Chains A and B, each alone.
Chain A
């Protein structure tokens, strides 16, 4: 049962083959059995989940339906959940229980989904390996000595090991797509503004976007149907007409043109990754897709631009954690300055501090023009590259990451090499575009992901092609043997 996709589980529930409570307990038990090893969850809400499952069962008995009614899922611990701890992977919020639900959480509740718990993540979503979490690193289910990727590493590992059928994640520079690739699952970062950011703890406001993580593209489409939509509480949310993201899943790919940016296939890419991509290109070719070489000439600037813009915004966004109203406060402060310094000094980890310092620096008087303003200008150039590319092609494809999952600790002493793991994912955030990572092979037993990027609001196109690809491949169906 636990191997089934969300869509399959929904059918089982509707048929009455299994109750929501049974399903919920099945996954809760799997979490209990494996979380000590994987460390994928920060909080497990057995009581709340069972209660929600009972309510869902009652509704199901009454003949009510709903795409997610009674189905279990997990939320990244970046989403505020009323009554359940929301730590954002930080000591700073280890004691924080939100008095309100994030919009995403509320939408899932309304849809009748059952939240199992909150997944581990890099502290304040800053990291690509899940090693910056105050709650310790998450392990990659395919190899416990490897990282699951980050920052949504807990969600990715949990879905990969089938501790939950699906999970939510957030993606600021690749935080859904990169861990999805490293854990062998499907993860979608929607267009900026597609999903409300209200109640999603901010890292870099102009880049953050929530999205679904699941076994299949079809499941991602089902989740996005619930997550997406205008929210008057988020001024950057887009007021589009509601869309059914499952509608175009089965469309033929014939006549579709995919662009392959030369910049995504240069040095630095792992041989097995390149090989898996080639195989995927062949598969898609058989489905009628045409390929065209394109160029994103400013691609090499994406990482440096990102590491100006994101820290700048985070340095301001994280100012509210001052020990005054909520969160961590140091013991016995002698005065206000001492309270600020020690609360923040003790409450934040090193990566967060590093980014706050970078951000503070690039915004400070005399440096703003040279760094922040310049970075914003280059951001426009990167956006323009995509616009020009989409004049010629329907989608852009490349690897999600340069290499499969790396060893725990391998990059944690070298921030720049860690940052470079997001080299292919960051530009979609800078341009606000939707991107998806789909499993496309293995290298020495570790999953490999391919990434596709679409024009703004073309999630349906991404999901369509990913779904068609998954119908002719089985990479997404494989799961780590230790969790069978």
Chain B
């Protein structure tokens, strides 16, 4: 039978505000438990929430970036349920009137035509604290530092048809929120959390199958694996004549499987109602227009511009615009290099990225700054060093953080372009290898490589390859 996968994602992004969404406490990650929870975050008797304007601005920024309808009047509602790390016994969220309405975003999988994924809504809400089950000997510890951190929950339509598409969409949102500087995107610290609603149906059917919601996925790799596991599981259930149960399932990365957490019957009745402690959020056109002016160039536009301005291939443009950091790095390096876009692109996507991956570093942690890479490329372009020597210089740069010019100077790596000096070396090599000269003259053109290698060796790799070639050609054909 032909099964079709249907996926919709709910993405919780922690907004990068300095203080919490309804209190003045800091949102910084990693502090000692309960040191960043004020009376409001603790839900003490009598406290009241006050909305953080920055969170509203960030939500609107996102809405504009995905061409969404902005909720000019949005309402905070209480989602009621009991949990020890939910201090008030309700989460302040948005229900009926969210701040961001219908929008969309385009994704690409395997450089095919872009596919449009509809965004249903995005709403503001507060994060809960954390329950710590380890180290408490049969008890549970509660850390409320995270309680009240602003979240923007971005809900997609069930428009994705494969785990790959889901990952592409999640990555796109991940990149976008970082471009917008509204979320640090750190999945390990939980700043960007993805829940997947997955169902399958027979190809050609209109009705959606029963879905399950997968939670606890903290990397894109796990997202893909979790969805694929879940799709297989559902197909197995259906093909065995069973029914998929609507439920929430947890992904276990160690076992690479999803497990039932709670079924629909066990789900809470959240008893949403408008929060009487908060007024409706009313926005005006001037506010929206002001936010519009703060929008940076967005990934799709940047990608187009990179292809047009730098004559880059689509795949390179994709790589270089995957994050704002990468794009900024690239443009800065190109500028320093004197406009060597292609060379910079190659160095960035292969040499630097390879090195970063190997040492598990992010671009922000790179010991080689954009300007330094640009200088290195400039030295290749102006023939100060060859590409081969450049790799040697790059190694030193990576280790010491010194500038390429310093390294070239200190280690005497400057390319030899003095015609006379190279000619002397060429003459020497020809004189020392009569046998090979004979072979060349007999028509064995491959020997050319040997001569070039010998001259290079004699110059310690510093002789200009083009000049070596030209001189060898001329002398051997004499």
Contacts and interface: CB of A to CB of B under 8 A. Distances in A.
Interface of A: 79-80, 86, 88, 93, 96, 98-100, 102, 197-202, 204-206, 232-236, 312-313, 315-316, 318-320, 322, 324-327, 336, 340, 360, 363-365, 368, 372
Interface string B258-296: 000000000001011100111100000000000000000
A205 B88 CA distance: 14
A316 B273 contact: yes
B276 A206 contact: yes
Contacts of A363: 80, 271-273
B82 interface: yes
B45 interface: yes
Nearest to A99: B39
Interface string B41-82: 011111111110000000000000000000000000010101
Contact of A324 (B48, B84, B271): B84
Contacts of B44: 80, 98-100, 325-326
A368 B278 contact: no
B50 A233 contact: yes
A173 to B, nearest CB: 15
A102 B46 contact: yes
Contacts of A205: 276-277
B142 interface: yes
Contacts of B276: 204-206, 236, 313
A88 B46 CA distance: 10
A319 B273 CA distance: 14
A121 to B, nearest CB: 14
Nearest to A202: B46
A368 B273 contact: yes
A336 B88 CA distance: 16
A98 B279 CA distance: 26
Contacts, number: 100
Contact of A364 (B42, B48, B269): B269
Given A86-B45, A200-B46, A202-B46, 4 more contacts: A98-B46, A316-B90, A320-B89, A327-B45
B198 to A, nearest CB: 24
A325 B37 CA distance: 12
B374 interface: no
Contacts of B272: 363, 368
B344 to A, nearest CB: 51
A342 to B, nearest CB: 14
Contact of B45 (A201, A204, A232): A201
B98 interface: no
Contacts of A201: 45-46
B90 A236 contact: no
B299 interface: no
Nearest to A326: B44
B87 interface: yes
Interface of B: 39, 42-51, 78, 80, 82, 84, 87-90, 140, 142, 269, 271-273, 276-279
A235 B80 contact: no
A155 B147 CA distance: 36
Nearest to A363: B271
A77 to B, nearest CB: 11
Nearest to B37: A325
A326 B45 CA distance: 9
Contacts of A233: 48, 50
15 contacts: A86-B46, A198-B46, A199-B47, A206-B276, A235-B51, A235-B278, A316-B89, A316-B90, A319-B89, A324-B142, A326-B44, A327-B45, A336-B140, A363-B80, A372-B273
A197 B39 CA distance: 15
B43 A325 contact: yes
Contact of B48 (A197, A326, A340, A372): A197
A220 B48 CA distance: 26
Contact of B50 (A204, A235, A320): A235
Contacts of A197: 48
Nearest to A197: B48
Nearest to B24: A233
A202 B275 CA distance: 13
B24 to A, nearest CB: 10
Contact of A325 (B48, B80, B82, B87): B87
Contacts of B42: 325-326
A197 B269 CA distance: 29
A322 B89 contact: yes
A102 B48 CA distance: 11
A96 B46 contact: no
Nearest to B39: A100
Which among A93, A205, A235 has the greatest number of chain B C-beta atoms within 10 A? A235
Contacts of B87: 320, 324-325
Given A235-B49, A235-B278, A320 B43 contact: yes
Nearest to B22: A235
Given A100-B39, A320-B89, A363-B271, A199 B84 contact: no
Contacts of B43: 320, 325
A199 B46 contact: yes
B279 A236 contact: yes
A93 B44 CA distance: 11
Nearest to A208: B276
A312 B273 contact: yes
Contacts of A327: 45
B35 to A, nearest CB: 15
B267 to A, nearest CB: 10
B84 A235 contact: no
